[in-house]
Chain A
């Protein structure tokens, strides 16, 4: 079965080509039908591959053919199936199929409906091909392709200036990371003579990387850090996280698929894929852990104060990706990947549910929502499942993975990071339930919009239900109850006798952390406390309604004090966080954004300066040419000719 894994990316490509031929006027039913069915078949194949790899004694299967030769070096293309790949295939195809189905409802009557599906299929193809790449060069190519698809899809509603701007921003910011990553790949190629993972890893673990006299450890560290730059850009880690919230200008299914479940996880996947390299460079691994921890905390603080429902979830994504990086960084390989999986399900669910709300209300402002529980029960309960998973409440999926990560962080001797993680967990529970209470409970704040709110039909309901099931149950793939099935599955990549990895790597990846009931209880308590605080502020007393009531009728004076307390609490509890959040946001907007802008400015200033020389007068041109000739000849004669001495 494993040898047929190439079918998995091929089917979305077929769908893409087919849609290209159908053209821009194709009927929506056919377009969506073809896409969903082919991706669903991909999903089924992925399941078989997943199962086949699991029962395979030596996990890694590589199928390559010769592509081109530069000098004496050969480059291969092909695909490689490992346990990690197989898991990614399942996640990507499942979420893709569901999102493709959901989009049928969400994008209904958009005049570029077929184009949207073309882009999505191209994305799914690129993402799957990225996952299956057997070497870094092929990975880089598809890495850029998913970036391109993201650019196209974020800017899909290009007539909105914010969308066009956001698309450009996402493209440029991620390219900053990609530049480093490309340099890292080239460095590894020079140091090991190959782009193949296996060759690079065995060289890294054996300490035989060599580049201009640098020691193997140094090369590995530099290369790992450079590659991590790519991951930082793609996975929106601090300090390159600024593009992801802006990317929410794209259609919501795009946010769910690309900016929550799959593409942004590619950075995490890359670090996991290149894990032996990182393990042989402990400094790089530390950097990963700290960047991840900082990102997790900062993003969750920012999420506290956002008004736009999608932005809250976007910052939440950034924060959760930070968790995954942190897990990988502290050596909890399996837990990072595990969280990647659970997060893909519950975050896609949250986005799709938010999409369902946006579709119904035509607004993204939380303070124009409210009371949707009565109009949209299905969306409410599925969102609740996702929110509970995100907040890490037993027994939802997020609980298992997040708790594993926190436990491993403490157990591996990183108490500060553990504190970061715990604080972020509190904020997470708070902000997601703030969204939940504001949107779904209480009284509607905008009656007109509330009036025509409705569920989006079965195409939107089915994905929500399926994802809600996964968000609830996916955690059980890796619990003490099944003896950490996923951990053992993933570890098979390295336990196989043919594994090229050294003993360090096997030891790091194979390390298990005992369950600690006390820590579990702490995590759950923190999550519940966050929910409680959110409920206090946002549940019954719809603040806007309250204020209006206070102004218009006396009886509500009684609630004045309550409101005052509310304000005080808000000032006391949230205000600090808010100010911190504001500070962080300020840093974001002015310092980081400013840096990006400055780079752009510098370029155009340079261009302007050069333009001055372009006067249009032939005399000026020849004057420049003469001076240039003089300078070159004079220096050359001086240096080589020895005329002047």
Chain B
């Protein structure tokens, strides 16, 4: 059996991403958490590249790893709070959550592994000869115009909501 390099790379990336995620949960300092979550974002981007979705991968790096992680860091610096949390205690609740998550992952993994998935080989061209960004653009502005427009409303709501919540107000209850 020959070694399939993409598979090996996938496992490496997945392992790194998972490590970052677990680390993020176990760190007690907020700034480290922000850094490790950046690692998770980059790991995801690497998976996208591996799957041939370069546009999504680039967008992932630009938006998540770039913008969002940096924003989180800024927020941490500007709010200037006590940047450490109490250490993790293994009470019933946390144990239950951890066991539940692991078992859920096991169940899903078993289900996924036991399935004979559909789909053609690696050479199937689902883009109709176009490059990724062109296809995405065409989809967005033809078939998916309405969700696209709704997302713009969604962003406005999020923006206004953030302003409302951040604004200082005197005459509340």
Report which of B97, B100, B108 forms a contact with A619, defined as CB distance below 8 A: B97
Q: Digitize B67-97: 1 where CB-to-A-CB distance is under 8 Å, 0 elsewhere.
A: 0000000000000000000000000011011
B93-A627 in contact (CB<8A): no
- Cα–Cα, bound, A619→B111 (Å): 27
Q: Which residues of B contact A548 (CB under 8 A)?
A: none
A626 vs chain B, min Cβ distance (A): 4
Extra inter-chain contacts (4) besides given A619-B93, A627-B96, A633-B104, CB under 8 Å: A623-B96, A623-B97, A630-B104, A633-B107
- Cα–Cα, bound, A85→B107 (Å): 66
Q: Which residues of A contact B111 (CB under 8 A)?
A: 637, 641, 643
A-B contact pairs, 29 of them (CB 8 A): A617-B93, A619-B93, A619-B94, A619-B97, A620-B93, A622-B97, A623-B93, A623-B94, A623-B97, A623-B100, A626-B96, A626-B104, A627-B100, A629-B100, A629-B104, A630-B100, A630-B103, A630-B104, A630-B107, A633-B108, A634-B103, A634-B107, A637-B107, A637-B110, A637-B111, A641-B111, A643-B107, A643-B111, A643-B114
Q: Which residues of B contact A552 (CB under 8 A)?
A: none
Q: Is A644 an interface residue (CB 8 A)?
A: yes
Q: Is B18 an interface residue (CB 8 A)?
A: no
- Cα–Cα, bound, A176→B110 (Å): 50
Q: Digitize A603-645: 1 where CB-to-B-CB distance is under 8 Å, 0 elsewhere.
A: 0000000000000010110110011011001100100010110
- Cα–Cα, bound, A623→B103 (Å): 13
- Cα–Cα, bound, A619→B95 (Å): 12
What 4 A-B pairs come out closest when comparing CB atoms? A626-B100, A623-B97, A630-B104, A627-B100
- Cα–Cα, bound, A351→B107 (Å): 72
B92 vs chain A, min Cβ distance (A): 9
The main secondary structure of chain B at its interface with chain A is helix
Q: Is B101 an interface residue (CB 8 A)?
A: yes
- Cα–Cα, bound, A102→B97 (Å): 70
- Cα–Cα, bound, A428→B103 (Å): 72
The main secondary structure of chain A at its interface with chain B is helix
- Cα–Cα, bound, A619→B107 (Å): 22
Q: Which residues of A contact B97 (CB under 8 A)?
A: 619, 622-623, 626
B12 vs chain A, min Cβ distance (A): 27
Interface range for A: 10 to 19
Q: Which residues of A contact B114 (CB under 8 A)?
A: 641, 643
Q: Which residues of B contact A644 (CB under 8 A)?
A: 110
- Cα–Cα, bound, A101→B75 (Å): 79
A643-B104 in contact (CB<8A): no
Q: Which residues of A contact B104 (CB under 8 A)?
A: 626, 629-630, 633
A634 vs chain B, min Cβ distance (A): 5
A residues 448-495 touching B (CB-CB < 8 Å): none
Q: Which residues of A contact B107 (CB under 8 A)?
A: 630, 633-634, 637, 643
- Cα–Cα, bound, A619→B85 (Å): 15
Q: Digitize B104-117: 1 where CB-to-A-CB distance is under 8 Å, 0 elsewhere.
A: 10011011001000
- Cα–Cα, bound, A644→B107 (Å): 9
A residues 570-624 touching B (CB-CB < 8 Å): 617, 619-620, 622-623
A residues 80-121 touching B (CB-CB < 8 Å): none
- Cα–Cα, bound, A629→B94 (Å): 16
- Cα–Cα, bound, A617→B94 (Å): 12
Q: Which residues of B contact A634 (CB under 8 A)?
A: 103, 107
- Cα–Cα, bound, A634→B110 (Å): 10
A467 vs chain B, min Cβ distance (A): 62
Report which of A622, A626, A630, A643 forms a contact with B110, defined as CB distance below 8 A: A643
Greatest chain B CB density within 10 A among A617, A626, A629 is at A626
Q: Which residues of B contact A620 (CB under 8 A)?
A: 93
Q: Which residues of A contact B94 (CB under 8 A)?
A: 619, 623
A638 vs chain B, min Cβ distance (A): 9
Q: Which residues of B contact A629 (CB under 8 A)?
A: 100, 104
B37 vs chain A, min Cβ distance (A): 18
A622 vs chain B, min Cβ distance (A): 7
A129 vs chain B, min Cβ distance (A): 50
| CB closest chain-A residue, reference B105 | A630
B101-A626 in contact (CB<8A): yes
- Cα–Cα, bound, A430→B104 (Å): 75
A118 vs chain B, min Cβ distance (A): 41
A579 vs chain B, min Cβ distance (A): 56
Q: Which residues of B contact A633 (CB under 8 A)?
A: 104, 107-108
- Cα–Cα, bound, A622→B94 (Å): 10
Greatest chain B CB density within 10 A among A617, A619, A630 is at A630
| CB closest chain-A residue, reference B100 | A626
| CB closest chain-A residue, reference B97 | A623
- Cα–Cα, bound, A620→B100 (Å): 12
- Cα–Cα, bound, A634→B108 (Å): 9
Q: Which residues of A contact B103 (CB under 8 A)?
A: 630, 634
